[in-house]
Amino acid sequence: MLNDEETMLTTIDNPFNPFTNLEAWQQYDEHYLHYQTCQKLALKADISVDFPDLYNEMCIDDAMKEIVKEDTLGVYRIVKASDYDDQGQLKIN
């Protein structure tokens, strides 16, 4: 985590909170939306168990930013846990 709060990549049309319900979030992403967000992130981020954790975190952060920047449909968002309300709904658009 490069800042005070962990960030994750999500889409504006996924109703699940990836911080509290990752399994449902991933199932919805893969089987209903067909985005394959985790796979896309894994392909973009040059990480390895041989690299230091901070380096891997920087690579993941850069990959998330690149995915958002390249997103012509505007569906991808980098979110923090505080971006979700008490019901697990995304507060930002």
Question: Given this model, what pLDDT does residue 90 score?
Answer: 87
What's the burial of 48, exposed, middle or buried (CB within 10 Å: 0-12/13-18/19+)?
A: exposed
Torsion (CA) 48, 2, 77, 38 in degrees, nearest 10:
20
In the chain, DSSP assigns E strands to 7-11, 76-80
pLDDT at 5: 84
Query: Which portions of the chain are predicted below pLDDT 70?
Result: 1-3, 93
List the end-to-end C-alpha distance of the chain, in Å, as a whole number.
23
Query: For residues 89 and 87, what is the distance between their CA atoms, to the nearest angstrom?
Result: 6
* Tokens found for residue 22: 């990752």
The 10s digit of each residue's pLDDT in 6-17 is: 999 999 999 999
Give the model's pLDDT for residue 87.
87
Stated pTM of the model: 0.87
Residue 88 pLDDT: 86
